Amino acid sequence: MPDVWRLGEPTERARVAIVGCGGAGCNSRRHVVAPPNAERIAVNDAPHPSMAGVPRRILVRPDVLQGFAVMDERIVEKMETHEEKDLAAAFLNRDLVLALGGLGGELGGWGLSLVGRVARILGDTTLALATVPFTAEGRIRREAAEAQLALLRRKADGVVTFANDELLRLAPDLPFVKSFAVLGSAMARLASDLSACVARDDVVPLRRLLARSRDWRFGMGSGTEKHRCFLAVDEAYRSPWFTGRREDVRQAVVLIQRPADLPVEEELLHEVRIRSPLADVSWAVLPAPASADRVLVEILAGL
């Protein structure tokens, strides 16, 4: 039988680092509402307006970043570079590292892998949230993204990819700038909400869960009135970034936001089970209640 377990039952929250890598990652991190147990960190090659208000800023050299990122932490465990040491200092006394960035450029994709390398040496659990370039951005950028994604999957415990092309298929008239904004908001919400509900005792089981799937997808939805649970889960599975067959999902993290006096967890998890009957499920109710009778659900699915 598939396993079901609840996140966040112990009272002590995990100590989380939310890291924005490169321009896309820093812009997404700017939308993150960090709970008290999380620290926001910006990694870029130069100061940028998106880094404003973030006390922990790390500057890296893009010309050597790839060389640092590809080093095998099982062979080269000692951190020698300034970039590695700065990241290690930022991750000190952290349990979970959430890294946000875009694939295909000179900094974000390699920066995500360097974050994964340093976090793994320190023993932290890592989850990367990475955007995939538009097809219109060209073959060279997409080939670079593929190489960066292959490395990132070796460095992080789990990698969630967000494909912009899928969003444009649903809203073909959406300008590129607005597409980036929608995507950044989705990534920021996932980072904020996951930080708020993971306890320190959850970190190791979460790492094992993430490591079981090579491909992770994200969806979110909401529903009201009589069929709110069905509608919320159905919308989450139909999200533009939720590619792949729902019945192929083998692991799922389900985050629930509901009114304080409306216990719908059993019904929501039943709706997830109908669509993904073979999935091991971890779930949590977010501390901030939803308004009125609205139910919101976020699903992180491993294929």
* pLDDT tens, position by position, 242-292: 988 999 999 999 999 999 989 999 999 999 999 999 999 999 999 988 888
137: CB partners within 8 A, 6+ apart? 104
* pTM score of the predicted model: 0.92
Start-to-end Cα distance in the chain:
18
Domain 4-211 shares a fold with domain 216-302: no
CB 220 within 8 A of CB 287: no
The domains of the chain are located at 4-211, 216-302
DSSP 111-163: HHHHHHHHHHHHT-EEEEEEEEPPGGG-HHHHHHHHHHHHHHHHHSSEEEEEE
The CB-side HSE value for 250 (13 A sphere, CA atoms) comes to 10
pLDDT tens for each residue of 105-160: 889 999 999 999 999 999 999 999 999 887 767 788 889 999 999 999 999 999 99
Q: In the CATH scheme, what is the code of domain 216-302?
A: 3.30.1330.20
Rounded (10°) CA dihedral 185, 187, 193, 195: -130
CA–CA dist 219, 233 (Å, integer): 9
CA–CA dist 66, 88 (Å, integer): 18
Q: Which CATH number fits domain 4-211: 3.40.50.1440, 3.90.190.20, 3.90.1650.10, 3.10.129.10?
A: 3.40.50.1440
